[in-house]
Amino acid sequence: MSSEEVAELRSLVASHLTLYYDTHFNLLRWIQAMIYYKISARFAEIEYKLYNLGISCACAWEVDLIHKTDRDTHPLHKYWPITVAGVTESNSLVLVEQSGFIDYEGIHDHFCLTDIVKAKLHDAESVLARIMEIEKETGKQAYAILVIDSEGVPYSKKLVDLMLGPMNCRSEFMLQHYVELVE
C-alpha cells in the first residue's frame, strides 16, 4: 500500500475522521481490510464504513476519549479481565484473555448487550491507543495479538447460544470498527 493511496483516502474521508483517528496507519488498516475490492469500490466502501464510524465517534459515548478513562469505571470490567502481556519484536501488542475465568452466562444475565459493547469498546479503544503509541514511536505498523486461553471454559447449551447470538454480534461490531487491528 502506498502513501499516495493513504493520502487519496484521507482526502476522500476527511470529513468523517476525527483528529485522533486521522493517522497514516489507521487509514492504511482500512485499505488493507478492503484489499479484495477494486480500488474505486474499495474507497467507496471505506468511505461508507468510516462515515458510520464517524457517526459513532460523535455519539455521547465520546469514543475518541474513552481510552483516557479508568478501565474500572464500568462494573463489567471486574468480571471480564484482559491482560497486556507486552510487545513483541515485530511490533505486536500481546493480549491474553483467560476465558475459563469469565462467567459469560452471568455477564449476559446481568448486563444488557449495549452495556457489554460499551465496556468492550473501552478495551478496544485502549488497545488501539496503545497500538497508535507503538506506531508513533517506531514508525512501523503495529498489531494486537489476542491469545484466548480457553482452559476451564465449561460446555453448556446457554454458552453456545450466547456464542451464536449476542457474543457473535459484539464480535462482528468490533471487527467492523477495528479493522486489521488484531493479527
- Which residues span the domain enclosing 124? 66-177
What is the pLDDT, as a whole number, of residue 106? 92
Same domain, 40 and 85: no
Q: Does the residue 49 lie in any domain?
A: yes
Instruction: Report the number of distinct structural domains present in the chain.
Output: 2
Q: Does the residue 183 lie in any domain?
A: no
DSSP labels for 146-161? EEEE-TTPPP-HHHHH
Q: How does pLDDT run along the chain (183 residues), one tens digit per residue?
A: 578 888 988 888 887 778 888 899 998 988 888 877 666 677 777 777 776 665 555 555 566 667 777 767 778 888 888 899 999 999 999 999 998 889 999 999 999 988 888 888 888 889 999 999 999 999 999 999 999 898 988 888 988 898 888 888 888 877 777 888 887
Q: Does the residue 51 lie in any domain?
A: yes
**In this structure, what CATH number is given to the domain that contains residue 115?**
3.40.525.10
Same domain, 93 and 110: yes
Same domain, 110 and 27: no
What is the pLDDT, as a whole number, of residue 62? 65
What is the pLDDT, as a whole number, of residue 69? 73
Of 132, 155, 152, give the one whose Cα is nearest residue 142.
132
Question: Model pTM greater than 0.75?
Answer: yes
What is the pLDDT, as a whole number, of residue 63? 67
Final residue in a domain of this structure, among 36, 57, 78? 57
Q: Does the residue 182 lie in any domain?
A: no
